[in-house]
Amino acid sequence: MPEYLAPGVFVEEVSFRSKSIEGVSTTTTGFIGPARFGPVTEASDILTSLTEYERAYDAGSEMAFGPAGDITGPNFLWHGLRAFFEEGGKRAYVSRVFRPLAAPVDGGLEAPFADVAIAGSTPLKYGDGHGRATVGSGDAFRIVARWPGSGGNLRARFGIKLGPNLLGALPDPDDASQLVPTVSNLADGDVVWISSAAAYGNDVAPSSPPAPRGVDQLPIYVAKKLLDGTWNFIEGGIRPGSPPQPADPNAILTLADFNLDPQPGSGDAIRPLTLSLEVLSDDGTRSLGAWSGLSLSPSHKTAGVPDSIFDLFSLDGAASAGTPIVLLNDVPGGVIGGGTDLLRALDALKGIDFALTPAEWQDANFADELGALRRKLERGLSGVAWLEGGNDGLLPGRAEYEGRADPTEDFSTGLKQLEAIEDISIVAAPGATWKYESRVDDVNSVINLLIAHAERMRYRIAVLDTPEGMKIADVRKLRAKIDSKHAALYWPWVTVFDPITRLPLNLPPSGFVAGIFARNDTERAVYKAPANEVVRGAIGFETMVSAAQQEVLNPEGINVFRFFEGRGFRLWGARTISSDPEWKYVNVRRYFAYLERSIDKGTQWAVFEPNGEALWANVRATVRDFLVNEWAGGALLGDKPEKAFFVRCDRSTMTQNDLDNGRLVCLIGVAPLKPAEFVIFRIGQWTADQKN
Q: Flag whether pLDDT at 339 surpasses 60.
A: no
* β-pair type (381-386, 325-329): unpaired
Angle CA(310)–CA(323)–CA(305) in degrees, nearest 5?
45
Q: Flag whether pLDDT at 37 surpasses 90.
A: yes
Backbone CA torsion sign across 366, 369, 372, 373: positive
pLDDT band at 450 (very low <50, low <70, confident <90, very high): very high
Residue 427 near residue 418 (C-beta atoms within 8 A):
yes
Q: Residue 681: what pLDDT? A: 82
Q: Which residue has the higher pLDDT, 6 or 157?
A: 157
Q: What is the mean pLDDT of residues 433-444?
A: 95
Residue 425 near residue 590 (C-beta atoms within 8 A):
yes
The count of residues in the chain is 692
Q: Flag whether pLDDT at 690 surpasses 80.
A: no
Q: What is the mean pLDDT of residues 262-287?
A: 84
pLDDT band at 205 (very low <50, low <70, confident <90, very high): very low
Alpha carbon distance 609, 9 (integer Å): 29
pLDDT band at 688 (very low <50, low <70, confident <90, very high): low
What is the full DSSP assignment across 321-349?
TT-SEEEEE-STTS---SHHHHHHHHTTS
Q: Flag whether pLDDT at 242 surpasses 70.
A: no
Q: Residue 415: what pLDDT? A: 96
Angle CA(160)–CA(164)–CA(165) in degrees, nearest 5?
120
3-class SS of residue 437: helix
Candidate ranges 239-253, 370-384, 504-518; pick with highest mean pLDDT: 504-518
Candidate ranges 10-24, 126-140, 311-325, 502-516; pick with highest mean pLDDT: 502-516
Q: Flag whether pLDDT at 334 surpasses 50.
A: no
606-644 pLDDT, tens digit per residue, is: 999 999 999 999 999 999 999 999 999 999 999 999 999
Q: What is the mean pLDDT of residues 342-360?
A: 75
Q: Residue 27: what pLDDT? A: 94
Helix, strand, coil percentages, rounded to 5, for the chain: 25, 25, 50
Q: Residue 335: what pLDDT? A: 40
408-421 pLDDT, tens digit per residue, is: 777 899 999 999 99
pLDDT > 70 in the chain, percent: 87
For residue 257, count CB atoms less than 10 angstroms from its CB and return exposed for 0-12, middle for 13-18, buried for 19 or more: middle
Q: Which residue has the higher pLDDT, 499 or 240?
A: 499
| CA 31 to chain CA mean position, Å | 12
Torsion angle of C-alpha atoms 25, 496, 560, 589, degrees rounded to 10: -10
Q: Flag whether pLDDT at 483 surpasses 60.
A: yes
Residue 249 near residue 199 (C-beta atoms within 8 A):
no
Q: How many CA atoms lie within 13 A of 290 on its CB side?
A: 5
Alpha carbon distance 384, 387 (integer Å): 10
Q: Residue 109: what pLDDT? A: 46
Q: Show contacts of 259-266: CB within 8 Å, 24+ apart.
A: 259/196, 259/197, 259/198, 260/167, 260/169, 260/179, 260/181, 262/169, 262/179
Query: Of 432, 466, 460, 461, which is closest to residue 446 (Cα–Cα)?
Result: 432
DSSP H/E element including 384: strand 381-386
pLDDT band at 112 (very low <50, low <70, confident <90, very high): low
3-class SS of residue 107: coil
Q: Which residue has the higher pLDDT, 106 or 4?
A: 4
Strand partners, 71: 65
Distances (CA, A) of 590 to 177, 496, 575, 621, 657: 84, 28, 11, 24, 33
361-410 pLDDT, tens digit per residue, is: 888 777 777 888 888 888 888 889 999 999 999 999 999 999 998 777 77
Residue 527 near residue 632 (C-beta atoms within 8 A):
no
Among 99-108, 115-124, 317-326, 438-447, the minimum mean pLDDT is found in 99-108
What Rg value do the Cα atoms of the chain yield, rounded?
35
> What is the CATH code for 29-99+394-588?
3.40.50.11780
Q: Flag whether pLDDT at 183 surpasses 70.
A: yes
Among 46-60, 104-118, 351-365, 604-618, the minimum mean pLDDT is found in 104-118
* Mean residue pLDDT across the chain: 86
Q: Flag whether pLDDT at 114 surpasses 80.
A: no
Q: Residue 689: what pLDDT? A: 67
pLDDT band at 597 (very low <50, low <70, confident <90, very high): very high
Q: Flag whether pLDDT at 197 surpasses 70.
A: no
| CB neighbours of residue 102 within 10 Å | 16
Q: Kindly list the domain boundaries of the chain, sorted by start residue.
A: 1-20+612-692, 29-99+394-588, 161-386
Q: Which residue has the higher pLDDT, 277 or 307?
A: 277
3-class SS of residue 30: strand
In single-letter form, the type of residue at position 464 comes to L
Q: Which residue has the higher pLDDT, 641 or 235?
A: 641
Distances (CA, A) of 375 to 6, 354, 361, 362, 688: 80, 11, 11, 13, 104
Distances (CA, A) of 227 to 230, 231, 412, 559: 7, 9, 46, 75
Q: Flag whether pLDDT at 72 surpasses 60.
A: yes
Angle CA(350)–CA(355)–CA(360) in degrees, nearest 5?
115
3-class SS of residue 516: helix
